[in-house]
Amino acid sequence: MLNTVHITSALTDPALLDLPWETPLAQWPADWLVALPRGISRHVVRFVRLGEVVYAVKETGQRVADKEYGLLRGLERLDAPAVAAVAIVYDRKADDGEPLAPALITRHLQFSLPYRALFSHTLRPDTMNRLLDALAALLVRLHLAGFFWGDCSLSNTLFRRDAGAFAAYLVDAETGALHNQLSAGQRDEDLELARVNIFGEALDLEAGGYLHPSIDPEWVSEQVVERYQGLWHEITYEQVIGRRERHKLESRIRRLNDLGFDVAEMSMSTTEAGDAYRVRPKVVDAGHHARRLQQLTTLEAEENQARILLNDLDTYRAANGIHDEQIAAARWLTDVFEPVVAAVPAELRGKLEPTELYHQLLDHRWFMSEEAGLDVGMHIALISFLDNVLAHKPDEQAVLGEEVAAS
């Protein structure tokens, strides 16, 4: 007998009602589930596929589910890097009438991986460095948005490949709080919680033999603090600029753009002597290159991917003598990017997302050209990339039952 459940949802997906809500999540039958890699969680979490969409379902308490759902929806409105909340299912009852815990449903982030899936045997120093950079940047972006995480860690983060780096996304917000602005004390507290959590995770990796011998767990925990502080300072510090040094302001904005941030608003005032300006970025938004790429081509990409694709677009524009940027972008999209994506066989399309695939293809073309002493061209590079590289990569979109290598 099917019990009545209630769903609060951010979207209309009647298929959610078909899931076996009268069964505890830990006992859901395998034919409903998708075997994706997942991080450590204090809750029971399962992945299900409904049509073309994969959802993560987590059993938790009603108050916690309500809070996390609201926070994730708030972060989505702020365009913060976090998974998207879909629904809360409550008033669940087992067939014998026993109450079951509410379930929070989020949309699975395609091509994302928990940090434990990013190594096969030993987490190498270069991989750890990229993870720490991504986590520090994520924490900075959340703090700029006024979000206090309260439990920042590698375990509560998903990572996507981003042109040789990683992009990080919040996946667990139940301990968080959203404010108009965070104080320095709130940021320091959140950063200290991150340091302690990451130290524990590094010790766990070391105990399991998964941490490279050259990596010290204490160093790992201190690094996330140093990287956060360095990035936060660059984004927010007050700069004194002479009246005849306005070019320094343009240089500051370009540096922030290179870091992937747009300056939406600046605070400026004259010094006491009146011969200089005090300048401080007041509103800073992440995603400078990603926004520009989307405006020109409608493509969605991570920040480093977008930077590389924009460089390729500029090269195409110069090589073809196209003065208008919009026209060049339209032609590059239809003549270069889309044919590459269309050439990937169906069985290989779950290996990498299109923008990451294109970036890796550009790298492959460069290495082939260096070896050959001439530009081998996109067509030859693509054939080689599909046969010799992509075919041997793990599938990061579809079902994964084993760990994913860090390469």
- CATH number for the domain harbouring residue 194: 1.10.510.10
CA distance to 315, 362, 363, 387, per residue, from 381 (Å): 17, 8, 10, 10
Asked if 244 and 257 count as a contact pair (C-beta separation under 8 A), the reply is: no
Segment among 39-43, 200-204, 232-236, 260-264 with least mean pLDDT: 39-43
Q: Has residue 324 been placed in a domain?
A: yes
- Where a domain ends, among 66, 87, 108? 108
Cα 91 to its chain centre, rounded Å, is: 33
Whether the pLDDT of residue 135 is over 50: the answer is yes
Q: Has residue 401 been placed in a domain?
A: no
pTM: 0.81
Whether the pLDDT of residue 38 is over 90: the answer is no
Segment among 140-154, 209-223, 294-308, 390-404 with least mean pLDDT: 390-404
Looking at the structure, tell me whether residues 317 and 246 fall in a common domain. no
Single-letter amino acid, residue 152: C
CA–CA separation, 250 vs 252, rounded Å? 5
Percent of the chain with pLDDT over 70: 92
Asked if 392 and 351 count as a contact pair (C-beta separation under 8 A), the reply is: no
Looking at the structure, tell me whether residues 275 and 229 fall in a common domain. no
Encode pLDDT of 194-206 as tens digits. Answer: 999 999 988 988 8
Looking at the structure, tell me whether residues 327 and 264 fall in a common domain. no
Q: Has residue 166 been placed in a domain?
A: yes
CB neighbour list of residue 314: distance below 8 Å, 6 or more residues apart: none
Looking at the structure, tell me whether residues 145 and 221 fall in a common domain. yes
Looking at the structure, tell me whether residues 308 and 388 fall in a common domain. yes
At residue 397, the pLDDT reads: 52
At residue 345, the pLDDT reads: 94
CA–CA separation, 276 vs 236, rounded Å? 19
Q: Has residue 37 been placed in a domain?
A: yes
Looking at the structure, tell me whether residues 141 and 96 fall in a common domain. no
At residue 406, the pLDDT reads: 38
Q: How confident is the model at residue 112 (pLDDT cuts 50, 70, 90)?
A: confident
Looking at the structure, tell me whether residues 77 and 187 fall in a common domain. no
Furthest C-alpha separation in the chain? 80
Looking at the structure, tell me whether residues 387 and 337 fall in a common domain. yes
Looking at the structure, tell me whether residues 215 and 174 fall in a common domain. yes
Looking at the structure, tell me whether residues 153 and 207 fall in a common domain. yes
Looking at the structure, tell me whether residues 25 and 103 fall in a common domain. yes
* Domain housing 363: 299-392
CA–CA separation, 210 vs 205, rounded Å? 5
Sheet strands side by side (includes 53-59): 6-9, 84-90, 103-107, 53-59, 45-50
Domain containing 87 — which CATH number?
3.30.200
Q: Has residue 406 been placed in a domain?
A: no
As for how many domains the chain has, the answer is 4
Rounded to 5 degrees, φ, ψ at 48 are: -130, 150
Encode pLDDT of 179-188 as tens digits. Answer: 999 999 999 9
Q: Has residue 404 been placed in a domain?
A: no
Q: Which two tokens stand for residue 119?
A: 């190594």
CA–CA separation, 207 vs 201, rounded Å? 10
CA–CA separation, 159 vs 314, rounded Å? 28
Q: Has residue 407 been placed in a domain?
A: no
The residue with tokens 């370009």 is 254
Looking at the structure, tell me whether residues 230 and 120 fall in a common domain. yes
Label the pairing between strands 177-178 and 112-114.
Answer: unpaired
CA–CA separation, 118 vs 122, rounded Å? 10
Q: How confident is the model at residue 261 (pLDDT cuts 50, 70, 90)?
A: confident
Query: Where does residue 401 rank: exposed (0-12), middle (13-18), buried (19+ CB within 10 A)?
Result: exposed
Q: Has residue 293 been placed in a domain?
A: no
